[in-house]
Copies of this chain bind each other. A is one copy, B any other.
Amino acid sequence: MEEKVIKVERNKKISMAVVRRLPKYYRYIGELKSKGVSRVSSNELSELTGFTASQIRQDFNNFGGFGQQGYGYNVEELESNFKKILGLNKTYNAIVIGAGNLGQAIANYSNFEKKGFKITGIFEKNPKLIGMKIRDISVYDIDNIKSFIEDNKVDIGIITTPKESSQEVANILIKYGIKAIWNFAPLDIKVQEDVVLENVNLSESLLSLSFQMNEKLNNNKNF
């Protein structure tokens, strides 16, 4: 009942600036909870996260106020609200496409499973890798991807192929109905409107690190 109210209130679009902060809120709230802290103010959260208290209150109020004047926020309540907001009250099945080093690293990283993201298969073109197992996850022939997606619920496609084949892989995933893509190929994949795409471009991250190093050097030279 109350749930419905929240959903109705929530028709405003959440800006990407806010979206990028949400996981961090969830992380710090989780830490507080596991420390047994029961209440927290926007000021205390500000110290933890580095965001201003004002911004935190603004952000939270995008999802309906879950604080209390004079008291702050109840940590347990915050935690369960953010869990729902981030969609972590469900589980998701994911497949990895590309069984190279990065694909293997992701499949091996058990923390995702703890959060509810289960990797159910890895798909690969290279016959040397097909048949391998990573933890208990099998590496299948990429040619079997269609039937796998048809026979199993797959929510998320994780692309760790070389950039040459990544767009093609994305097209296949989308064609068979996958609505969310986590892309690690260093390339801008094109997807239709109703597909959610999250890019992790390690190359771009490294280059921006490089830029910032040099920027710092140049600035110091001038003084």
Q: What is A's interface to B at a CB cutoff of 8 Å? A: 7-8, 10-11, 14, 19-20, 22-24, 26-27, 50, 85-88, 92, 100-102, 104-106, 108-109, 111-112, 115, 117, 155-156, 179-180, 182, 186, 188, 194, 196, 198, 200-216, 218-219, 221-222
Contact = CB atoms under 8 A, between A and B. Distances in A.
A200 B203 contact: no
Given A24-B188, A198-B205, A198-B209, 7 more contacts: A7-B221, A23-B203, A23-B211, A115-B207, A155-B213, A156-B213, A198-B206
A106 B92 CA distance: 27
Contacts of A205: 23, 182, 198, 200
A137 to B, nearest CB: 13
Copies in the complex: 2
Contacts of A188: 24, 50
21 contacts: A7-B221, A11-B219, A22-B207, A23-B211, A27-B203, A85-B211, A86-B210, A87-B211, A88-B207, A101-B101, A102-B105, A104-B105, A109-B202, A112-B206, A156-B213, A179-B216, A182-B209, A196-B209, A198-B205, A198-B209, A200-B200
Nearest to A216: B196
A23 B87 contact: no
Contacts of A105: 100-102, 104-105
A11 B216 contact: no
